[in-house]
Structure 1
Amino acid sequence: MYIIPGHHHISMITKNAQINNQFYQKVLGLRRVKKTVNQDSPTMYHLFYGDLTGSAGTELSFFEIPNVGSTVRGTNTITQIGLLVPSFESLVFWKQRFEQMDVKHGEITSYAGRDALHFEDTEGLRMIILNNNGEEVPERWSAWEDSIAPQQHRILGMGTIEITVRHLERLAQTLTDMFGYIEVSRSDDEAIYQSVAGKSFGEIVIKQQEGPSEKPGKGSIHHLAIRVKNEEELRYWDAVVKERGFHSSGIVDRYYFQSLYFRESNGILFEIATDGPGFTKDSTVEALGLGLDLPPFLEERRAEIEGILTPLD
């Protein structure tokens, strides 16, 4: 059986691409690695932020939906995103930066066995800065040297992802029995799983919570994508998903990677995505994220699309 080597990307909803663009580049110091559109609804932006090239495992992605309302928090949803930083001193740096920039945040505490700093972006998206404590990260991650954050405190990539559901055991079985995740801790209403033993870049915390499902809005999380190496592995997982009785979208060519989508029993949307070809398929490393990049099937609509989108820069 193939293994899942970690998170690939995570996708959220933003109401305002300009404000979103400002926060993730100028506050968090991430690189905007791709400015494109939602391929299923090309009149809305799809923005990706990450490391130098938007390596799998570093990508935060946002769909702009200008008429979206506020999130009504509840269960059966992805609730928090962990972002890894090099050290405890990095947590202190980010706490001070959030205070200076009026970013909503808490005190330095612990989460999933790591030093942690909870904070929210301008639309209420919940995130956690996590101390990676000098531990190994994927080789493909590469620092963006023009980040506003000092080199020793830069965000490395995605860490622990929290998912809140009514039925913990159903999601736990999907992760362990289907994908081979390892259970590292368990209590009555919380469990932690890792796709690679001892590594937080493939870690998922499941929390069990009764009540109504979350109503998505600005600052809510749409789906989590997990990594596979290539199309061969993706086809393997497509068959596994179907064998388990889940509905699979089938393989979808997203130009920068290939994907499939399915919902597990609580309704959580997962994407399985290939590592490549990556965002440099239609851009040099130096030019990543500067212009509006469109997949070939949308290129003939460029003038129409650019006429609808509000310029970001």
Structure 2
Amino acid sequence: MYTIPGHHHISMITKRAVVNNQFYQSVLGLRRVKKTVNQDDTSMYHLFYGDLTGSAGTELSFFEIPQVSSTIRGTNAITRIGLLVPSFVSLTFWKERFEALDVNHGEITKYAGRDALHFEDPEGLRMILINNNGEAVPEKWATWDESVIEQRHRILGMGSVEITVRSLESLSAMLKEVFGYTEVSRTETEAIYQAVAGQAFGEIVIKQEDGPRERPGKGSIHHLAIRVKNEAELRYWDEVVRNNHFNSSGIVDRYYFQSLYFRESNGILFEIATDGPGFTVDSTIESLGRNLDLPPFLEDRRDEIEAKLIPLD
């Protein structure tokens, strides 16, 4: 029986890729590891930020949709992203940095039992910096030495992901009984589950909230992808998903990884994605994210695709 080793990536919507590109590189110090396009709509950028190589579990992914409006917040949505930093001192560093750069943020507080600092990106995407406090992270995570942030305070990768739903019970049951997540805590209105017991890099925080469904827009979260090692594991989970009466997309080749998609009963979109082949399949480590990379099946349309995109740098 296979297990889920943590988050793979998380995908959001941005209205302005130029603003998004500046914030995640120049403010948060992440590396842009892939500049490509949405394979289902090549008129929009698909940007990935992460560690040195965009390792699984570090990837923040954005689709640019220029015509999108503002998010109307509500329930049945992925509502917050945690990013791990090395220490409590790092949280103090980031609070001071956010104050200096006029980034919307709160005070240092607690989240899911850990020291944390809430903040938002320029489009209102809700995030939290979480003190990893020296705990283990996946061995493939590697810091990017050209980051504007000094190493002792750099963002390590993804931590807790918050999902707000009308039915906590159904989502909890899926994580625990279908995917084998460990239940850390549970009340009537909140539960915490971990893909790897004791570790934040695969943690999901569920909050129960009635009310209207969120209407997505700029700064909203499209889906959460969880990790599997390879295609054999992905095929196993495809069968598990179908056997538990979820509608699987079937396996989709995204070139940089293979994946499948399904929605749980609250309507939350999950992706299951393989670790490889990764973003270096068509780039050297040194050149990651610098040029527009296209999967082979789009390469003959490069001129057409590039003509529709606004330069980012």
User: What TM-score does the superposition give when structure 1 sets the normalisation length?
Assistant: 1.00
Q: Deviations over 1:22-41 (max 9, x none)?
A: 00000000000000000000
Task: Output one character per residue of 1:289-311: Cα deviation in whole Å (capped at 9) or x when no partner.
Answer: 00000000000100000000001
Q: How do residues 276-295 of structure 1 correspond to structure 2 at under 5 angstroms? A: 276-295=276-295
**Cα distance in structure 2, aligned partners of 1:151 and 1:203:** 24
Runs of at least 5 residues in structure 2 that lack an aligned partner in the other structure: none
Residue of structure 2 in register with 1:47 after alignment: 47
Letter in structure 1 aligned against 2:53:
T
Report the secondary structure of 2:129's partner residue: strand
C-alpha separation in 1, matches of 2:174 and 2:87: 33
Q: How does 1:107-122 map to 2 (within 5 A)?
A: 107-122=107-122
The equivalent of 1:221 in structure 2 is 221
Amino acid at match of 2:221: I
Which position in structure 1 is the counterpart of 2:27?
27
The Cα of 1:188 is off from its aligned counterpart by: 1.1
Give the letter aligned to residue 129 of structure 2.
Answer: I
User: In structure 1, how many angstroms separate the alpha carbons of the residues matched to 2:295 and 2:86?
Assistant: 35
Counterpart-to-counterpart distance in 2, 1:207 and 1:164:
5
Match of 2:299 in 1: 299
Q: Deviations over 1:256-309 (max 9, x none)?
A: 000000000000000000000000000000000000000000001000000000
Aligned to 1:96: 96
Instruction: Give the match for residue 155 of structure 1.
Output: 155
Identity %: 77
Counterparts of 1:65 and 1:281 in 2: how far apart (Å)? Answer: 27
What residue identity is the alignment partner of 2:255? Y
What residue in structure 1 maps to residue 64 of structure 2? 64
Amino acid at match of 2:158: M
Matches within 5 A, 1:177-256: 177-256=177-256
Deviation, 1:174, is 0.6
Q: CA deviation at 1:213?
A: 0.3
Aligned length: 313
**Paired amino acid for 2:39:** Q
Deviations 1:214-264 (CA, angstroms, capped at 9, x unpaired) = 000000000000000000000000000000111000000000000000000
Instruction: Name the CA distance, whole Å, in 2 between partners of 1:151 and 1:182.
Output: 31
Q: Report the residue type matching 1:231 in the other structure.
A: E
Which residue of 1 is the match for residue 143 of structure 2? 143
Partner residue in 1 for 2:133: 133
Question: What TM-score do you get using the length of structure 2 for normalisation?
Answer: 1.00
Correspondence 1:174 to 2:174 = yes
* Aligned-partner Cα distance in 2 for 1:28–1:96: 13
Give the match's secondary structure for 2:225: strand
Q: How large is the Cα RMSD of the aligned pairs?
A: 0.3
Shift of 1:209: 0.1
